[in-house]
Structures are given as structure tokens and as C-alpha cells.
């Protein structure tokens, strides 16, 4: 048995969807363990583009796909996504998709509150997607959330709605905003309940059974380490823990059953929304990276901010997240560059740092320290063998590997699944480089 966790090492959008899809062929079960429909994965399979937010990437390959209790679930968004994927020819049944009975629901009022608060923040807004993820997690922590299992019992559901609105309507009244109608919310939830409850299951038990029977489990993270609510650029973060440690509580599986943690990292850095970004390029180079990398959000469509690779934050993500190896993506974006820059340190208040400080003010004042690397000026898009790579690209890869203090396991040279070079197999932990195993 070998269970693998895939997480982002930057501000999300690292290309985890493709990597998870590529690894899912060797997996029996694919699990989402945090986040909500604010995260997005884009998969390209046989020329068809699948855009997923809540559904684990394994559904497109018919693998048992589980949404864990650490995910906050908008039932209407989930059903819309299921319908959309079914229209694309993917068969999603109750045998394929399992939804944790103790997962928290994202309600219409959560999105409403999210957007209201962002508006009141003005220039200090966090940059959320406005989909209600943060308010839903707040209700969960405050012990007033409505969960999947509550949809089964009308008495419990009415009680929980009443308790929930005692809090939220008081706040809305104070803001002179329209209050939430409890009966209307109850009706909406009862209408959606039958379709949602058919997927409800005891997820932790299913994972225990999978482990006992020797199944390979792939845990799929959303967002990235620098958006972690504890370890990211707080307060410009998401509302959940995005590092691999969240797998245990977010899926209901023991830490000892997580065998390998694969971090996904772009060859450059991007982020969506507000917040510090030390290597951001507000110039023609940033525009070129954005264009060549097609840097627009899967969920929001927002243009991503682009910059040079930030080694300092990636290395920190490796250490904090217990990452064993890295999948390096979008190398081909740099094919036409004469030279590349890499951030190897920070200056903050006259001090040189090799870590991202927690202080909001110190993060805002960071100046990157760069080293310049020679580009390769060759077309590498779609290459699937290490021996085909330009020498300067190999030097770049080895340089990154040395600085982040973690091995590079996979290289991605394009959006398609087959545009992948395996150096070490995360499931078997075996080397493929010497024998030139080419994955296609």
C-alpha cells in the first residue's frame, strides 16, 4: 500500500489538477479533504476540458471519489457540477461519488455575507471569491453549522436553522441589510436534500476499509501552502488549512497512513486576489508570463498576478508541509526567455531573511533578492523524456531542487496529461530516470 497526498506549495493554481489526474491512474480512491467550490482544477483529457471545483479529479476516470468532512459543500454548486460533468459523458453514480455525512454545508446566506463584508472592507478587502467559503467555516468552528446529515431530520434542521439565524440576522440587522427568511431556507434545503443525501456516506469508515484491503489512496489538496489559514500570508488567505497535515482531520484517516506527500510548484509564481507577493512583476515580463501560461482562474476567470519563482516561500512550504518531493509545472512557459530570475532570499527592514515572516507589516515590506539563470531558448512543450530536455533547463531544475531542499519527482511540459516526465514514482518511490521510463 502507498497513499499519496498532493498539495500546492505556492498561492494555488500550481497545476495540481493535471498532476492528480496523472497519478489517479495508479490510485484506487481519490479524496478531497479541504476547501470548497472556491478552488478549481482544470483537466485536459483526450482534448476535452473538464473544470472541477468540488468533485475530486478521480471522477473523470471512474475512480472512487470522496469529498471529505474537511470540505465545505455548497449543495447546489455540487449538483450543478455533477450535471455538467455528466453532460460531458462522465458517469457519476453513488458507487463512484461519496460525500462525508459530517461535511458542513455552504448556504446562500454565506455567499451573501461574504460579498457584503468584502464590499464593506473597500480597499482592504481580502480578495475572496465571494462564494461563502469563509463564513461557512466560521459557522463550523462556532458550532452552529448545518451539515449533510442534518438534511435527514426535519426537527433537527429547523432547530439548527433557527439557531444559525439568531446569529446572522442579528448581524444583518445591525448592518441595515435584508435578513434571512428561515422558512425559505428550510424549503430550499428540503428541495435539494434527496439528491444530496444519495451520496452521503460514512467516509472515514470507507477509507479504513480501503486501507485494510490495500487500496491506493490519492488525497487531493486545494489552494496552496501560502493560502493556509495558519501558515500563509494571513489575513490574505483561505479559511482552511491547505497543507498536508489537514488530510488526517479533513478526511478522517490516521497520520500514519499517509505515505508520501507530493508538492506541486510552478516554475514561476502566481496569485489571485489581494495580499503580499514579493516577486510580482507589474511589467511586460509579467504580462508575457501571464499570456504564455494562460493565467486566468478556473473558478473566477480573474487574471492571475505573475512573478518570478519564489524559492524562499516554496522551501518553507516544503518544511512546514512535510513534503517528500515536488512536481514542477509549466516549465515550457519559459521557452523563449533569454534569462530567468529566482528569488533566493528576502530583505525586510534592513535584515536578510530566509523565511516568510508572519507579520503582516513585514510581509508588505519584503524586497526579493534575485539570482539570474540562463534560459534555454528551445521549444520544450510536450516533451516527455528527460533526455530530450535542453541542458539549461536541466540546470534550472537541478538548481531549484538544491535550493528548496527537496527532490523533483515530476516535470510538466504542457497542459495535456501525457506532457509529463516521471523522475520518481510517488506511489512506489522508485526511480524512473535511469531506466528512461516514459509516461504517456
Active site residues: 13, 41
Residue-wise over 8-34: b if at least 16 C-beta within 10 A, else e? Answer: bbbbbbbbbbbbbbbbbeebbbbbbbb
Torsion of CA 326, 98, 253, 54, to 10 degrees: 40
Tell the residue number behind the cell numbers 471512474, with chain if given.
Answer: 62
Instruction: Estimate the share of the chain in helix, then strand, then coil, as percent rounded to the nearest 5.
Output: 40, 20, 40
Sign, CA dihedral 108-109-110-114, equals positive
Count of CB atoms within 10 A of residue 430's CB?
Answer: 11
For residue 179, the SS3 value is coil
For residue 339, the SS3 value is strand
Torsion of CA 360, 364, 365, 367, to 10 degrees: 120
| Chain centroid offset of residue 380 CA | 26
What's the CA gap between 104 and 148, in Å, rounded? 6
DSSP string, 215-261: --EEEE--S-GGG-TTTSSTTSS-SS--STTHHIIIII--GGG--EE
CA–CA–CA angle 57, 263, 298 (5° rounding): 45
Sign, CA dihedral 223-229-234-235, equals positive
| Phi then psi dihedrals of residue 230, to 5 deg | -100, -40
Q: Which residues contact 209 (CB under 8 A, 6 or more apart)?
A: none
What's the CA gap between 288 and 36, in Å, rounded? 31
For residues 129 and 299, the answer to whether their CB atoms sit within 8 Å is yes
What's the CA gap between 302 and 297, in Å, rounded? 5
Helices 154-174, 182-197: crossing angle, 10 deg rounding? 130
Specify the length of the chain in residues: 440
* E strand or H helix at 115: helix 108-121
Strands (E), 121-184: none
Amino acid at each position: 500500500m502507498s497513499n499519496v497526498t498532493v498539495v500546492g506549495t505556492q498561492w494555488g493554481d500550481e497545476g495540481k489538477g493535471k498532476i492528480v489526474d496523472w497519478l489517479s491512474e495508479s490510485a484506487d480512491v481519490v479524496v478531497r479533504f479541504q476547501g470548497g467550490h472556491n478552488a478549481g482544477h482544470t483537466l485536459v483529457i483526450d482534448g476535452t476540458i473538464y473544470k472541477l471545483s468540488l468533485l475530486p479529479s478521480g471522477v473523470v476516470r471512474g475512480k472512487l471519489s470522496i469529498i471529505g468532512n474537511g470540505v465545505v459543500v455548497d449543495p447546489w454548486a455540487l449538483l450543478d457540477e455533477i450535471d455538467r460533468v455528466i453532460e460531458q459523458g462522465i458517469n457519476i453514480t453513488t458507487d463512484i461519488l461519496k460525500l462525508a455525512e459530517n461535511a458542513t454545508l455552504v448556504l446562500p446566506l454565506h455567499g451573501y455575507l461574504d460579498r457584503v463584508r468584502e464590499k464593506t472592507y473597500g480597499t482592504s478587502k481580502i480578495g475572496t471569491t465571494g462564494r461563502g467559503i469563509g463564513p461557512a467555516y466560521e459557522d463550523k468552528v462556532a458550532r452552529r453549522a448545518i451539515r449533510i446529515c442534518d438534511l435527514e431530520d426535519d426537527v433537527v434542521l429547523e432547530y439548527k436553522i433557527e439557531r444559525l439565524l439568531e446569529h446572522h440576522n442579528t448581524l444583518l440587522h445591525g448592518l441595515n441589510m435584508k435578513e434571512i427568511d428561515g422558512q425559505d431556507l428550510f424549503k430550499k434545503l428540503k428541495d435539494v436534500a434527496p439528491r444530496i443525501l444519495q451520496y452521503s456516506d460514512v467516509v472515514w469508515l470507507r477509507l479504513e476499509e480501503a486501507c485494510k484491503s490495500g487500496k491506493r489512496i490519492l488525497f487531493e489538496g486545494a489552494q496552496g501552502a501560502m493560502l493556509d489559514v495558519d501558515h500563509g500570508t494571513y489575513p490574505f488567505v483561505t479559511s482552511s488549512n491547505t497543507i498536508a497535515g489537514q488530510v488526517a482531520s479533513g478526511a478522517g484517516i490516521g497520520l500514519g497512513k499517509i505515505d508520501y506527500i507530493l508538492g506541486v510548484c510552478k516554475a514561476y509564481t502566481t496569485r489571485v486576489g489581494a495580499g503580499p507577493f514579493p516577486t510580482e512583476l507589474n511589467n511586460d515580463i509579467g504580462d508575457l508570463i501571464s499570456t504564455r501560461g494562460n493565467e486566468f482562474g478556473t473558478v473566477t476567470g480573474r487574471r492571475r498576478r505573475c512573478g518570478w519563482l519564489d524559492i524562499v516561500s516554496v522551501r518553507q512550504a516544503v518544511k512546514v508541509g512535510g513534503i517528500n518531493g515536488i512536481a514542477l509545472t509549466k516549465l515550457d512557459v519559459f521557452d523563449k526567455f533569454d534569462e530567468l530570475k529566482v528569488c533566493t532570499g528576502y530583505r525586510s527592514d534592513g535584515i536578510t531573511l530566509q523565511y516568510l515572516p508572519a507579520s503582516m507589516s513585514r510581509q508588505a515590506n519584503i524586497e526579493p533578492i534575485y539570482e539570474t539563470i540562463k534560459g534555454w531558448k528551445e521549444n520544450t512543450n510536450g516533451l516527455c523524456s528527460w533526455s530530450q530536455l535542453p541542458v539549461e533547463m536541466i540546470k534550472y531544475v537541478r538548481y531549484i531542487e538544491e535550493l528548496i531542499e527537496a527532490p523533483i519527482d515530476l516535470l510538466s511540459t504542457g497542459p495535456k496529461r501525457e506532457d509529463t516526465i516521471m523522475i520518481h514514482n510517488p506511489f512506489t518511490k522508485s526511480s524512473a530516470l535511469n531506466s528512461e521510463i516514459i509516461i504517456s
